Structure 1
């Protein structure tokens, strides 16, 4: 537990545990209900992702918090480990997303249409698919540490699309280490961590942080 009062609960979610909707014991909302507590998720992080997750403890608090996410006034920061070669010290990925076969999230344009200009990745408007629903998506990042084998990034999703950071990094050629979406039979966990979250609560700006797991050290 990172923070708790009578309205909110912030947890450091372990990898391999779902926030809600899981049919097994690894569903945090269900586990809380079995312990006699009702929790309302304000946002989601993937089962393979560890770190900060925010819950409301009543519907009144939930409404105010979800509006902050919808208005994009919440600041989110993740840590991710990827392959290092060719990454600038910082960059911005502005690539729309869509949903393809088997409900897989993908870039809403042909891979070969992705353009890099210095530290920015985009696709021309004419290349964006017009036969499916598409969703503007932006992620910025900075390289925190780098070795010959991998890079530790701070990633900042400016939109909140499903699998956004994972898909953005993979499609520019730097998939997250251990990500089962892009790596068959990974040997270890997915090295993506919900690191820091800032939101408004009771008239104050609150910043919460989940410490970086040991596996992320280059």
Structure 2
């Protein structure tokens, strides 16, 4: 939800948090300051994170109201990283966390947490999101530490030269132990995609890696990088991901899709790789067939 108000009359000259309190009396001063601190406040379409900013006549204040569960301060320390060298670092993205900043959230995103870590080790470059995971997907995310590394990784991703391995849990038992889906993907709605004749080319290879108690663990290797590709291609195969109700999956505590590994050749010819463990919910959904 977004609240919008305009500064008029006696509000001009007030502090941002005081003026916002007058415009939006349903919010406490503490809630307003939290929104400002978390990057959810825009003053005349400019992000402002200083509660003491002086208001001017005609300023427009926009506040983005987030669910309480999203206000979780995410911090990465050196010991938390999955991989790090002079050019790249890899982190674990948890379920429910946004990969990158949104118009009304900065803190609590992977992008912001990585930038804070980079600042802590003396780097001045911004965190650059060159690939992302859906909010409901967990696993490996790589970040370049400099512009040259960003250009390189972006090119590798575009050319399909980054080996990405995902794990997914589905209900039932596929007839084949491995298969390939070569079906174009197009946008069907604001947040939904599907196989479409006029869509963009998309290819995914699937392997069965374990079965038990009516659940099958699938290893997916996307050969292209379309939005929701694995989710769409598994649903197209008749096996929507457990927890992915948008594509016909059965209800679960989370969407059972996890980016297990990413691997690519680095600038000095060495192979760079990061592997992410699955979380408790994922492991408990298939305890006999999934290793953390």
Between the aligned partners of 2:262 and 2:149, the Cα distance in structure 1 is 17
Task: Tell me if the contact between 2:235 and 2:248 (Cα under 8 Å) persists in the aligned partners.
Answer: no
Q: CA deviation at 1:36?
A: 6.5
With normalisation by structure 1, the TM-score equals 0.82
Q: CA deviation at 1:212?
A: 3.1
- Counterparts of 1:160-199 in structure 2, within 5 Å, are 160-183=225-248, 186-199=251-264
Q: CA deviation at 1:26?
A: 3.2
Matched with 1:206 is 272
1:31 aligns with 2:121: no
Between the aligned partners of 2:242 and 2:249, the Cα distance in structure 1 is 11
1:142 aligns with 2:218: no
Q: Where is the helix percentage greater, Structure 1 or Structure 2? A: 2
Q: Where is the strand percentage greater, Structure 1 or Structure 2? A: 1
Task: Tell me if the contact between 1:84 and 1:147 (Cα under 8 Å) persists in the aligned partners.
Answer: no
Between the aligned partners of 2:245 and 2:101, the Cα distance in structure 1 is 20
Partner residue of 2:173 out of 80, 85, 97? 85
Task: Report the aligned-residue RMSD.
Answer: 2.0
Q: CA deviation at 1:54?
A: 0.4
Task: Tell me if the contact between 2:86 and 2:145 (Cα under 8 Å) persists in the aligned partners.
Answer: yes
Matched with 1:17 is 97
Aligned length: 195
- Unaligned 5+ runs, structure 1: 109-127
Matched with 2:134 is 46
Q: CA deviation at 1:183?
A: 4.8
Q: Do the aligned partners of residues 66 and 178 (structure 1) sit closer, same or farther apart at CA in structure 2, a change above 3 Å counting?
A: same
Matched with 1:157 is 222
Task: Tell me if the contact between 1:79 and 1:193 (Cα under 8 Å) persists in the aligned partners.
Answer: yes
Q: CA deviation at 1:155?
A: 0.5
Q: CA deviation at 1:34?
A: 5.3
- Unaligned 5+ runs, structure 2: 1-80, 120-125, 288-292
Task: Tell me if the contact between 2:127 and 2:143 (Cα under 8 Å) persists in the aligned partners.
Answer: yes
Task: Tell me if the contact between 1:84 and 1:148 (Cα under 8 Å) persists in the aligned partners.
Answer: no
Task: Tell me if the contact between 2:83 and 2:273 (Cα under 8 Å) persists in the aligned partners.
Answer: no
Structure with greater contact order relative to length (CA < 8 Å, sep ≥ 6) = 1
With normalisation by structure 2, the TM-score equals 0.62
Between the aligned partners of 1:95 and 1:26, the Cα distance in structure 2 is 35
